[in-house]
């Protein structure tokens, strides 16, 4: 049986933050990174939990992210577009700086967007979309990545795994949230399969010659495939346009040219859109939140589950019992703290 240890969420946060501080990150960067990574472990999202620490540290060491960056807000008074320049640091502190202004603007105007430029982004998007729903707003979050996905009908990496998240606030309940890569699976999942010596399910990837493969090594050397064929390919392209070109930041192929590798965390921009359901539905019959509940009940009534429910169950368990890590994971944290 695998040896495990259980840590409180606060204790895990302290360790992760200490690792980043020791590696030279300032308090803003280290705190925001620790929050998102620990949230990943707490919610049983292993592909964006502590496994990401080493990639973030490699990126710092390679000089591709500024450990002492301080994000700068351009509130753009009165405009629906709020901007934060991450200053070459990680996206997470830039998001934390911008989200209160985004929310206030969306409440005033009905809808607003937060543009984050010049950031390194390695995390899941659900913590961000949940922060928008916490403000009583519906949210859309998207960003490019680096070229690792072949467009449908193509045979070489071009698009990123381009994550896309949506959130809808629910009164007295956890929000409706989905968050997924626009590739069949996140690249982190392929890496976790490789580490575990497991084959991939069919349909996830092609090798460097463009042939279907279930070998994670061959998939990492080849290309991943978009989810849903041409539909995922088009959504991935939309994300390149909106969260790359439209916001004046890098597209996934440009990110790969800039970094020259997929072993570092990608550097690009991010787009967050916040919408007020009350403003959009004003003057129309029915309360949008009550009507949404009818829809959710009908979904669950058929025996289906709402997205993120697995995460929320894991979160409740972690909050009650702590986060369980394997001996190898604890060793990894100890080693990183000693470095």
CB nearer to ligand NDP: pick between 96 and 179:
179
CB of 165 to ligand PYC, least distance (A): 13
Site for ligand PYC in 33-92 (CB under 6 A): 47
Give the CA-trace dihedral at 62, 64, 69, 72, to 10 degrees.
180
CB 9 within 8 A of CB 318: yes
User: Of these partners, ligand PYC, ligand NDP, none, which one is at the site of residue 168 (CB under 5 to 8 Å by kind)?
Assistant: none
CB of 124 to ligand PYC, least distance (A): 8
CA gap 44, 323 in Å, rounded: 9
Answer yes or no whether residue 247 interacts with ligand NDP by CB under 6 A.
no
CB of 79 to ligand NDP, least distance (A): 27
Burial class for 331, CB neighbours closer than 10 Å (0-12, 13-18, 19+): exposed
CB nearer to ligand PYC: pick between 103 and 264:
264
CA gap 140, 135 in Å, rounded: 14
CB of 230 to ligand NDP, least distance (A): 18
* Candidates 84-92, 183-191, 271-279, 323-331; binding stretch for ligand PYC (CB under 6 A): 183-191
User: Of these partners, ligand PYC, ligand NDP, none, which one is at the site of residue 40 (CB under 5 to 8 Å by kind)?
Assistant: none
> Which pairing describes strands 111-120 and 81-85: parallel, antiparallel, or unpaired?
parallel
CB nearer to ligand NDP: pick between 182 and 276:
182
Answer yes or no whether residue 187 interacts with ligand PYC by CB under 6 A.
yes
Answer yes or no whether residue 181 interacts with ligand PYC by CB under 6 A.
yes
CB 118 within 8 A of CB 87: yes
Asked if 47 is an active-site residue, the reply is yes
* Candidates 12-20, 80-88, 106-114, 180-188; binding stretch for ligand PYC (CB under 6 A): 180-188
Answer yes or no whether residue 31 interacts with ligand PYC by CB under 6 A.
no
Total H helices, total E strands in the chain: 13, 12
CA distances from residue 32 to 8, 20, 93, 251, 322 in whole angstroms, order as listed: 18, 10, 5, 25, 20
CA gap 130, 307 in Å, rounded: 13
Give the H/E segment covering residue 111. Answer: strand 111-120
CB nearer to ligand PYC: pick between 188 and 269:
188
Per-residue b/e over 57-93, b at no fewer than 16 CB within 10 Å?
Answer: bebbeeebbbbebebeeeeeeeebebbbbbbbbbbbb
CB of 307 to ligand NDP, least distance (A): 3
Site for ligand PYC in 134-163 (CB under 6 A): 145, 161
**Site of tokens 């956890």:** 174
Tell me the catalytic residues.
47-48, 189
Interacting residues toward ligand PYC by CB under 6 A? 47, 122, 145, 161, 181, 186-188, 266
């Amino acid at each position: 049986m695998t040896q495990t240890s259980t840590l409180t969420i606060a204790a895990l946060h302290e360790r992760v933050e200490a690792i980043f501080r020791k590696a030279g990150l300032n308090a803003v960067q280290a705190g925001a990174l620790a929050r998102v990574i620990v949230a990943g472990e707490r919610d049983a999202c292993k592909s964006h939990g502590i496994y990401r620490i080493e990639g973030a540290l490699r990126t710092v060491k390679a000089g591709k992210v500024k450990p002492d960056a301080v994000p700068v807000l351009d509130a753009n008074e009165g405009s629906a577009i709020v901007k934060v320049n991450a200053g070459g640091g990680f996206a997470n502190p830039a998001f934390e700086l911008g989200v209160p202004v985004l929310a206030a603007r969306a409440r005033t105007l009905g809808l607003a967007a937060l543009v984050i430029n010049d950031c390194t982004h390695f995390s899941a998007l659900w913590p961000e979309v949940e922060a928008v729903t916490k403000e009583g707003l519906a949210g859309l979050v998207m960003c490019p990545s680096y070229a690792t996905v072949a467009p449908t009908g193509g045979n070489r990496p071009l698009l990123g795994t381009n994550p896309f998240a949506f959130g809808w606030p629910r009164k007295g309940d956890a929000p409706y949230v989905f968050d997924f890569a626009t590739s069949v699976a996140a690249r982190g999942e392929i890496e976790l399969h490789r580490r575990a010596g497991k084959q991939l399910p069919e349909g996830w990837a092609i090798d460097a010659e463009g042939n279907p493969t279930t070998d994670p090594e061959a998939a990492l050397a080849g290309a991943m495939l978009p989810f849903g064929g041409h539909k995922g390919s088009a959504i991935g392209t939309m994300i390149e346009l909106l969260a790359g070109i439209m916001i004046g930041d890098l597209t996934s192929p440009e990110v790969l040219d800039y970094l020259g590798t997929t072993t570092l965390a990608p550097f690009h921009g991010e787009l967050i859109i916040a919408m007020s359901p009350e403003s959009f539905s004003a003057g129309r019959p029915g309360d949008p939140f009550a009507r949404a509940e009818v829809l959710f009940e009908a979904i669950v009534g058929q025996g289906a589950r709402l997205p993120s429910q697995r995460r929320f169950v894991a979160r409740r368990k972690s909050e009650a019992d702590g986060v369980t890590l394997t001996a190898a994971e604890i060793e990894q944290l100890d080693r990183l703290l000693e470095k």
